[in-house]
Structure 1
Amino acid sequence: MADQVEKTSNQFGTFGGVFTPSILTILGVIMFMRSGFVTGQAGMGSAILILVIATSITFLTGLSISAISTNTTVEGGGAYFLISRSLGPEFGGAIGVALFFAQALAVPFYILGFVEALTTTFPEALPYFLPIGLGTLTVLFIINYVGASWAIKTQYVVLSILVMSIGSFLVGGVMDFDMEIARANWESAYTDGTSFWVVFAVFFPAVTGIDAGVNMSGDLKEPERSIPRGTLAAIGVGFLVYLFNIIVSGGSTLRENLINDPFGSLLNQAGPLAFMVIAGVFAATLSSAIGSLLGAPRILQALARDDIFPGLGFFAKGTPQGDEPRRGLWLSFGMGIVVLLVAGSGGGGGALNAVAVVLTMFFLFAYGMTNAAAFIEQFSRNPSFRPRFKFFHWGSGLVGGIGCLVAAFLINPMAAIVSLFLVTGIYFFISRRVLQSTFGDARRGFYYERVRNNLSKLDTYEQHPKNWRPTALVLSGNPKTRLTLTQIANWLGRGRGITTLVNVIEGRVHEKLEERAKVQAEIEEYVDQNNIQAYVEVVVSPSFREGLGVLLQAHSIGPIKPNMIVSGWPGRPRDYEEFARQLRVAHELGLSQVILVDHGLPDEPERIDIWWRGQRNGSLMVILAYLLTHNWEWTRTRIRLIKMLDDGETTAEAEAKLEELLDAARLDADYLVLESGDFASQLQKTSGDADLVMLGFKPPTGDRAEGFHKAYSQFVEGLPTTLIVCSTGDADLLS
């Protein structure tokens, strides 16, 4: 990342940092200039339906945003950051560029709307259209240049004006409400070739303002809390205001006036307070311009810091105080000047209107990608996807993504196609790779090619604890004699990792080929009959030790290498030192180890006890327990962390640490703190009634091998089935 130094970022809260920018954009120009038209054309009933459908799409997107933003450490860049961290830099960069241009070019468009409203109200100002526009842009630039805090304070003033303006025409409409007018305006009465979906397309941009708040992600004190709360609150408040306005306007104003003069209808509703409606139009357009001028430079700064495009490093730098993206602000200011000069005659013209529609498409595609990111994260059952926001399901992400795509084509099919083409072009520019497909067998050849391409791509990414998944070698031997071992391994890897059942046959390869083939077939049959998601590997070696050593080193396909061994606990090992040597070799080769002590499993397990002694082994144990609970057989199971007090540690301190740990890990689990004492007796007393117990261990040296085995044999005596776990540290619960 280019040109980054230690900086002090802004620390905005939910109201100022997220809710205010979002609600000001939602309650914008559509509220004043087109809401009455929608009600008049569609009728009150269909207008409410349009509002519900449009808000539902935004609400589902808000759920996706909330899920992603509470599952990772959120930095600057808004929707770009969320998408790029979920779907990768190609998708994120494509949407990020589109969003930057959408936000930057939206600034002069909102200013044009402000100046047009001003000159319509005061016709004598029309000759000064361009100077007023440039002056307004300059004032907004100065406000943002001083700092986001001043821009937010300015938005507070604008919000106050907007609230009074909306209140003036809503209260006036309530006072003039007439049931006869409401009944006459209830049904649809489309004119001039309009229809339900045409009117829907007119209204939908009103609900696409949530990006203004999300774009402030890098300036929030607690983005993981503020983004969900502020975004969903803005959506809810916006819905209620529009709903109330539809009912009030439809019951107080004749249909002809709603259709032909929606702004004048609001002035009439306000009566003597009509000047507040005029002030509201000014506030709505200026607030939207301020929000876009806040957002565009921050998106550009995030793109530059991720070093996705060559030449953007210049824009990565932020100010020491607040990390303000002033270089990007200058660029946005320059782009605004150019657009205003081109449109200086006093109206944007057809070309500007076409670009405005494309900008709306960019927002819709960004929302669609956000939904897709959340859908893929949960549908793929990624173990690291554990959002604190619990009111999300992959189905809502899927429906929201489809809704954004459908809305884009309903609003303007040609603009949607153009926008899709531009975003796709940027994607391929970033990815810089040529896709080649060769087909042998129509199905196998296709899948083989996809796997080959994906393996090559996967090999270019560094391993990260956030993406840890169990790739397990299960020392099953004859699995028919180790049912619990293979079932536990299956549950750990089902749908999330890769499991391989391993059997080592001692002997010479050329003498054991038939036996090897027979054993392989038997294990594969066992896998199929028991619905176990696992591969089978049978090797022949002069000794088990040599066979296991070769297998641990060589069993892989490119970047997919085993990271965990699952084996049984030897009741009476013939050679304690050999057993300890195997544990150390596996550990030194970078493989975590899970040793099963099989005491059977209940039909409906209800509790897993994890004895927490430290984050290294503890992280892997908690992740494994989390994976188990996502199998339908374990859905009713609760995870309980158990910690014995360290020397000098109080119960309150230990409980606080566990609470902090569970919060950081985004896990809903119980905990128990015990007084220090004899571990074995505490273990038996506390976890004897659990359904599964997890303990950590360190591989012993040769001279301690026998003592290690005796100690753990004593620990697990009288316990339910126990997993003894040793982690290499690759799995991090807090990632």
Structure 2
Amino acid sequence: MEQNILGGKVTVMGATTRKPQPGQGHTGNNLSAFGGVFTPSILTILGVILFMRAGFVIGQAGIFQTILILCLSHAITLLTAISVSAVSTNTPVSAGGAYFLISRSIGPELGGAIGLALFCSQAISVPFYILGFTESMIRTFPALGVHFRTIALITTAFLFIITRAGARWAVRAQFLIMTVLLLSILAFLGGALVHFDIHLFSKNFGPGYTKDIYTFWKVFVIYFPAVTGIMAGISMSGDLKNPARAIPAGTLGAVATGLIVYGLQILLCGGAQSREELIYSSFETLCSQALFNAGFLVVAGVFAATLSSALGSFMGAPRVIQAVARDRLIPILHPFEKGAGQANEPVSALWLTLGLTMATILWAGNGNTGQAFNILAGVVTMFFLYTYAMINVAAFVESFAGNPSFRPGFRYYHWLQALVAAAGCAVTAFLIHPLTAVCAAGIISAMVVLLRRRSLKVRFGDARWGFFYSRLKANLHQLSIMPVHPKNWRPAVLVFSGNPKTRFTLVQYALWIGEERGIVTLVRILPGNIQDLMEKRQTALTQLKKTFQDYGVSGFSTVMVLPDLDQGICAALQAHPPGPLKHNTVIFGWSSDPARAQSFTRHLRIVRAMGMNLVIINAKGLPQDPEKIFIDIWWRGKKNGSLMIILAHLLTLNRPWADATIRLFRIIQDPAGMQPAKQALEALLREARVKAETRVIVSTDSFETVFKSISTDASVVFIGFNLPEQSEAEAFQARYTRTLAPLPTLIMVSSVGDCDLFA
């Protein structure tokens, strides 16, 4: 699109809107979503439970209650997968899978405790699946029953060798296994369809629990490991080419596929096998009913499923403990942080997993009765429930805390969903076995206490006031000693509001920018003698507090009485809240009074000298047309540009701006640079995870001429400015007064560089 602006040729490149994409993490193996996440996840989901225990659960619980178990299990997993998708697309993801996501969201103490729990759950899953494989082999070849433990140990050694060769070889082996598994599933589901009997379906519809032995929750705990396979894929985060894209796609794809397969199995096998067959010989019946008498495919499938599940856990568990060790939270784990080769394979942690696996198999003995398998199923279920709960808590904390940096590329997420999922995991754990749930929670809590570097002691006064006061003091102190990171930047805004009734627009924009995600303090200066103006000061303070009530928002206010306005502004800039709550952004209204040019510029320079961001608002009223709300940002460099984009993003978090369109403009002089400039803006937005349109304008006219001509239809305009020298005060004020005259509300930004758009 081309247009003439005051005789100068201006070319505006068409607007584009792209979904922001998070940055990509560096990896050694560069696995894809299919090979690195979907494959290990689905092979663990469609594992030993599918062949060796699903029929038993159907026979005990009946078709209807088994569907309830399936829906409840997958609801927990699906909601957790959504939380994982949100957190993993909000920050570059490194090795450690769920541990990494939790520890970077809710801190190293709880993250380390859950990391150990996750390692235990995945490490115990290895012998769990190996015992399932051995049981299936013994049931297929009964003569081998006396060699149960030997077969399990040989299988362990075989899987260790494959895993030791590296993740790439393990994934290649899983592709072959998945082919066998697919043929097996088609064989037994097709056979069940051929043998389907509606009368048998009706008889098996209700429950048939073995009296005084099994209940709904007891069979639930046996079935639940069927849906825990997503951890196998998430734990491969350090080996993925693009974790932000691979984890959501691979995880959600595996959950959906598992739900379909298990749902078909419940419906078809429930109508193809008698209750006795389901409880006592479901696997054998699957083999005998297979299509084209291909029972060998079902046998091959259960072998493939159990071995692939064990292999996925064998790959995942060492990577979790390696990530925990690298964070150096627990001294005893330091030997496990080192990796081998270019892909940084966790060899030391792999040997640890091997040792735990062999010890568990030796404990199980010749467990051909399946009792050891069922016990491990309960342990795995409990650990995974707590891990899932903490993943959801991490997502909830990230979202509900309201950091401006929480801008996940995965949009189908809400903090309420994460809260429901976390509560569901905790409730399910207690319904399964209250004592075990309490013990597991106690173990995790003890690990959290041990991992704390600093003990926070709270003294209770009478009633609640003392508790809140001591917690506030402890938290302020804790914040003051924590290193500041751009990711945690929040607007702490000091607004020179004057009388809020006469500066309505200024106050409203300040609240839109700062109240939702930060702290806003309104300050009014009363020139004069404090003894004479004490009553007026109290009235003004009440008025400021009422302003927050009228807007329905929270904030702070202060009124200062000093001999003149300039002294009052200087005093207010130096008087700030304690420690980490000190102001980082100061908002002034634009002053067009020539008589105040020198003092106005002096205040701007004082703000900068004190290391605070400057925001000047030339108030022209609020947006009038809710159907056409545009936020224009004129990009002239990263320093001011980062803060402008973040402030614009903060505006869109408010209801009146929810449907606003952010337009990012850049002016260049050479037409040859149009495409590179546009690509650079789009790349910037993708990395920043902010949705906006980009416009590149080619013009030889002055910046003021161009942006005044284009942004007249905007609701609000952001521009950056350089701090003027004191000798340039009058010229600075005069130039911008002329520039601002025809424009809507304009926000001028001068950043000190403390907030990073890409955090």
| TM-score between the two structures when normalised by the length of structure 2 | 0.92
Structure 1 position 726, deviation (Å) = 0.9
Structure 1 position 649, deviation (Å) = 5.2
For 1:613 and 1:394, locate their aligned partners in 2 and report how far apart those are by CA, in whole Å.
Answer: 36
Instruction: Name the structure 1 match of 2:281.
Output: 261
Superimposed CA distance per residue, residues 78-119 of structure 1 (whole angstroms, 9 cap, x where no aligned partner): 000011111111121110011112222322232222223223
- The structure 1 residue matched to 2:441, chosen from 416, 420, 443, is 420
Residue 47 to residue 360, structure 1, CA distance change in 2 (3 Å)? closer
For 2:347 and 2:676, locate their aligned partners in 1 and report how far apart those are by CA, in whole Å.
Answer: 44
Q: Which moved more, 1:7-16 or 1:291-300?
A: 7-16
Within 5 A, what are the aligned runs for 1:52-67? 52-67=71-86
- 2:283 maps to a residue whose letter is F
- The structure 1 residue matched to 2:108, chosen from 68, 89, 93, is 89
8 A Cα contact 1:476 1:482, kept in partner: yes
Q: Which moved more, 1:501-510 or 1:381-390?
A: 501-510
8 A Cα contact 1:41 1:190, kept in partner: yes
Instruction: Name the structure 1 match of 2:168.
Output: 149
Instruction: Name the structure 2 match of 1:695.
Output: 719
Within 5 A, what are the aligned runs for 1:28-43? 28-43=47-62
Structure 1 position 444, deviation (Å) = 2.7
- 1:245 maps to a residue whose letter is Q
Structure 1 position 125, deviation (Å) = 2.8
- 2:116 maps to a residue whose letter is V
Within 5 A, what are the aligned runs for 1:161-180? 161-180=180-199
SS of the aligned residue for 1:559 comes to: helix
For 2:319 and 2:289, locate their aligned partners in 1 and report how far apart those are by CA, in whole Å.
Answer: 40
8 A Cα contact 1:371 1:398, kept in partner: yes
- The structure 2 residue matched to 1:308, chosen from 321, 324, 329, is 329
Within 5 A, what are the aligned runs for 1:489-508? 489-508=510-529
What is the root-mean-square deviation of aligned Cα atoms in Å? 2.2
For 1:48 and 1:663, locate their aligned partners in 2 and report how far apart those are by CA, in whole Å.
Answer: 41
Q: Structure 2: which 5+ runs fail to align?
A: 1-24
Structure 1 position 508, deviation (Å) = 4.9
Instruction: Name the structure 2 match of 1:3.
Output: none
8 A Cα contact 2:671 2:698, kept in partner: no
Instruction: Name the structure 2 match of 1:710.
Output: 734
Superimposed CA distance per residue, residues 513-538 of structure 1 (whole angstroms, 9 cap, x where no aligned partner): 44433332332233333434221122
Q: Which moved more, 1:75-84 or 1:134-143?
A: 134-143
Instruction: Name the structure 1 match of 2:302.
Output: 281
Within 5 A, what are the aligned runs for 1:571-720? 571-605=592-626, 606-645=629-668, 647=670, 650-678=673-701, 679-720=703-744
SS of the aligned residue for 1:385 comes to: coil
Residue 187 to residue 119, structure 1, CA distance change in 2 (3 Å)? closer
For 1:348 and 1:518, locate their aligned partners in 2 and report how far apart those are by CA, in whole Å.
Answer: 82
- The structure 2 residue matched to 1:338, chosen from 352, 355, 359, is 359
Instruction: Name the structure 1 match of 2:585.
Output: 564
Structure 1 position 637, deviation (Å) = 1.4
Q: Which moved more, 1:296-305 or 1:509-518?
A: 509-518
SS of the aligned residue for 2:615 comes to: strand
Q: Which moved more, 1:674-683 or 1:420-429?
A: 674-683
For 1:342 and 1:248, locate their aligned partners in 2 and report how far apart those are by CA, in whole Å.
Answer: 37
For 2:359 and 2:56, locate their aligned partners in 1 and report how far apart those are by CA, in whole Å.
Answer: 32
1:213 matched to 2:233? The reply is yes
Structure 1 position 248, deviation (Å) = 1.3
- The structure 2 residue matched to 1:123, chosen from 129, 136, 142, is 142
Instruction: Name the structure 1 match of 2:263.
Output: 243
- 2:743 maps to a residue whose letter is L
1:402 matched to 2:423? The reply is yes
Instruction: Name the structure 2 match of 1:10.
Output: 29
Number of aligned residue pairs: give it.
730
- 1:261 maps to a residue whose letter is S
Instruction: Name the structure 1 match of 2:346.
Output: 325
SS of the aligned residue for 2:713 comes to: coil
8 A Cα contact 2:131 2:373, kept in partner: no
For 1:231 and 1:363, locate their aligned partners in 2 and report how far apart those are by CA, in whole Å.
Answer: 16
Instruction: Name the structure 1 match of 2:201.
Output: 182
SS of the aligned residue for 2:501 comes to: helix
Task: Determine what percentage of the aligned residue pairs are the same residue.
Answer: 48
For 2:273 and 2:696, locate their aligned partners in 1 and report how far apart those are by CA, in whole Å.
Answer: 67
1:725 matched to 2:749? The reply is yes
For 2:231 and 2:27, locate their aligned partners in 1 and report how far apart those are by CA, in whole Å.
Answer: 24
Structure 1 position 540, deviation (Å) = 3.0
Structure 1 position 370, deviation (Å) = 0.9
Instruction: Name the structure 2 match of 1:297.
Output: 318
Within 5 A, what are the aligned runs for 1:526-545? 526-545=547-566
Q: Structure 1: which 5+ runs fail to align?
A: 1-5
Structure 1 position 555, deviation (Å) = 0.5
For 2:404 and 2:441, locate their aligned partners in 1 and report how far apart those are by CA, in whole Å.
Answer: 32
Structure 1 position 344, deviation (Å) = 3.6
Q: Which moved more, 1:446-455 or 1:465-474?
A: 446-455
Superimposed CA distance per residue, residues 133-155 of structure 1 (whole angstroms, 9 cap, x where no aligned partner): 22222221121111110111111
SS of the aligned residue for 2:332 comes to: coil
8 A Cα contact 1:7 1:322, kept in partner: no
Residue 525 to residue 109, structure 1, CA distance change in 2 (3 Å)? closer
Instruction: Name the structure 1 match of 2:92.
Output: 73
Residue 527 to residue 48, structure 1, CA distance change in 2 (3 Å)? closer
- The structure 2 residue matched to 1:483, chosen from 496, 500, 504, is 504
Residue 102 to residue 648, structure 1, CA distance change in 2 (3 Å)? same
8 A Cα contact 1:90 1:427, kept in partner: yes
Instruction: Name the structure 1 match of 2:44.
Output: 25
Instruction: Name the structure 2 match of 1:234.
Output: 254
Superimposed CA distance per residue, residues 243-296 of structure 1 (whole angstroms, 9 cap, x where no aligned partner): 111121122222221123221221222162112222222222211111111111
For 1:706 and 1:425, locate their aligned partners in 2 and report how far apart those are by CA, in whole Å.
Answer: 65
SS of the aligned residue for 1:192 comes to: coil
Highest relative contact order (Cα 8 Å, sep 6+), 1 or 2?
2
8 A Cα contact 2:639 2:753, kept in partner: yes
8 A Cα contact 1:21 1:212, kept in partner: yes
Structure 1 position 713, deviation (Å) = 1.7
| TM-score between the two structures when normalised by the length of structure 1 | 0.95
Instruction: Name the structure 1 match of 2:154.
Output: 135
Superimposed CA distance per residue, residues 46-101 of structure 1 (whole angstroms, 9 cap, x where no aligned partner): 32232222211111111100000000000000000011111111121110011112
For 1:373 and 1:265, locate their aligned partners in 2 and report how far apart those are by CA, in whole Å.
Answer: 44
8 A Cα contact 2:81 2:252, kept in partner: yes
